[in-house]
Amino acid sequence: MLANRSIGFLRASDIHRVDDERTEISKKSIKLIIFAPKEKRKSSPIERLVEIKAHSDEIILPVIAYRIYKQRIANISCPKPHVNK
């Protein structure tokens, strides 16, 4: 089941749950599907849509920042596990 919200947050713990196969990247936005296998709604896993839109100010570039993150950082193993509180 896909939960769609117009306003949401991309938490650090969500990054490893992004379904890269279904991610859509354009010049104006990024659409990410966050898969939460432990969370269920009517016995189906919950999928959350997060849309990050490009900003009109060129200094704030979330779309470009995401592309660079995926190219340079996303494939590097983390030396320590992250603790979520």
pTM over 0.85: no
Chain segment 13-43, per-residue pLDDT in tens: 777 788 888 989 888 888 888 887 667 778 7
Enumerate the domain spans of the chain.
Answer: 12-73
Residue 47 near residue 35, CB atoms below 8 Å: yes
Q: Among all chains, which residue has been given the structure tokens 């966050």? A: 34
Chain segment 34-67, per-residue pLDDT in tens: 887 667 778 787 888 888 887 777 677 777 777 7
Q: Among all chains, which residue has been given the structure tokens 């896993």? A: 45
